[in-house]
Structure 1
Amino acid sequence: MQRGIDLNADLGESFGAWRLGDDAAMFALVSSANVACGFHAGDPRAMRASADRAVRHGVALGAHPGYRDLAGFGRRALDVAADELAAEVLYQVGALEAIARAAGTHVRYVKAHGALYHRLAADAAAAASVIDALTAGASGLVVLGPPSGELERAAAAGGIRYAREAFIDRGYLADGRLVPRDHPDALVHDAGRAADRALELVETGGIAAVDGTRVDLRPDSLCLHGDTPGAVDLARAVRAALDRAGHDVRSFA
C-alpha cells in the first residue's frame, strides 16, 4: 500500500570548531530536520545555517532540545528536576524559533534528543511538565517521539498533536525500546538493509526486534541519525527505495 511518510534526521550538530555530519547532503534528502539547539550540540551559527537550508530545500524545521551536556552529546542521563527540564526545553525551542524567523520560516515541531528522549518516554511527571510548557509558550507545535510512551499520553492529555517515530538505523528490543548503543546490534550500517527496514516500517507498520519478535510501531516518521557513520549513503538508499515504491515522502508537520 502506498502512503505518505516523513523522513527525518538529527542535524545541525556542529558547534564552534567542531564539525559533525554532512548537513549539506542530508537536507536535500529528508523532509524534516531535527536541529540541535545548543545544549547537547549546535550553536547559533549552526542553527542559522540549518534554518537557511530548511528554507532552501522545503524541509520542515524541528527543534531538537537535549540535556545541557555538550561533553556527553546529550546521551547521559542527568538528574534534572521536571520543572527545570521543562524550562530548558522551552528555552531551546525559543532560541531556534527566533533564528528561524530571521531566516523566513518557523519551528514546526519538537523532538527531544538522546537521554532526554528516553526519559520523556518513561517519566510521566517530566513528560507532563514539558507538554505543559510547550502548550503555554510554544503553541501550535507538533511533538515527535516514540510510540505508546508517557510523552504520547501527556500530549494527548494536553491537546497537542503527536507524531510517532521509528528508527531506521537503530536495532529494537522485543519491548519496543532501542538496543543500547554499546551492543553490537545497536546500529544499522548497511545501506541496503536500511532501505529494506524503511520499506518494512512503512508498509507493515512494524519491524523485527533483534530476537526476531515483531514490534508494532505504526510510525508517522522514520529517523536517520546524522552522526551515524555513512549517514548520507543510508539516507540516499532509503529515499531512493521509498521513491521507487511510490511512497510520498513529506513532513508530518
Structure 2
Amino acid sequence: MTTDIEPGLYDIPAELYHLDPVPGGSLSASGAKLLADCPARYGYLLDHPQPYKPAFEFGTAAHTVVLGDGPELVVVDEKRWDTDEIKARVVAIREAGGVPLKPEAYQRICDMAEVIATHPEASEILTPGSGVAEQSAFWPDGEIWWRSRFDWLRPDLIGDYKTTRSVHPDYLSKAVHELGYHIQEHVYRRAAVELGLLPEGAAFKFIYQEKQPPYLVTVAELDPVARHVGGYLTQLAVGRYLYGRDTGHWPAYAETSTVLSLPPYIERQYV
C-alpha cells in the first residue's frame, strides 16, 4: 500500500485526524471496537459518516482545559440558546473550530481541572512539561495502516483522560467492556512500540473523572486478562476489516436464521 503519510507522530488538529489523512484509509481503535462487535455497523459508517454531535463538546472541552491543548473554548453567556441569533453564533463558533459553552458548563470544567490538580497520582501523570498532549500516530501493520491519537504521551507512559458518570470500580469495569477501552489500550500500546516511542510493557494509565461534583478521580490500569482480551478482539477486528475491505461485504451479527437461548444466569435458575 502506498501513502503520502510516513510512519510517525504528528501534531495535527483533531479534525484532520478524524478525517483520516491516509490515502486508502486506516483503522483506528474506534473502528476496531465497531468491527469486533458488528462489521455491518462499521461498513455503514464508512458510507454514512455521522453528523457532528454537540453532546461530545463537554468532553472535548474538559480535555482542552485538563491537558492544556485543544480547540478554543468560547463562553456564550446567554440564558437562552434557542433564539435565531444565538443559534447562528453557536454555529459560527463551531464552524471556526471552537467549542461553545454555557457559563455553568465552563465553570464545571474549570472545577474539574482543579480537582485533577489536587489528585496526587493524576496530577503527577499530567505534570506540565512531562509529556505532550493530543498527538496523532500513523503506522503500517502488514496490509493495513493504523492511526491513533494519544491524550498524553510521556517517555515512560501513556495517559488517557476520560470523563464518566461514575468512577465506582464496578461501573468502570463495565465501561471498559462496553466502550472497548481494552481495545483502545492495545492499539495505543502497539502504536507506541511500533514507532519506537515506548518500550514493551510501558505503563498505560487511565484517568477517569466524574462530570458532577465533587468530580471524583480514579487512576486505573487494566489487568492482564483485560489486556489479553483487548489484543484478541483487536486481531478479530483486523481480520474482519481485511475481509470487508477486500470483498465490500460487512457481515451483521447473524445473516441466517439462528436459535436463541436465555442468558446463562437465567438458565441456571431453572436447570
TM-score grouping bracket, smaller chain normalisation? under 0.3
Please identify which structure carries the higher helix content: 2
- Using structure 1 for the length normalisation, give the TM-score: 0.27
Q: Which has the larger radius of gyration?
A: 2
- Using structure 2 for the length normalisation, give the TM-score: 0.26
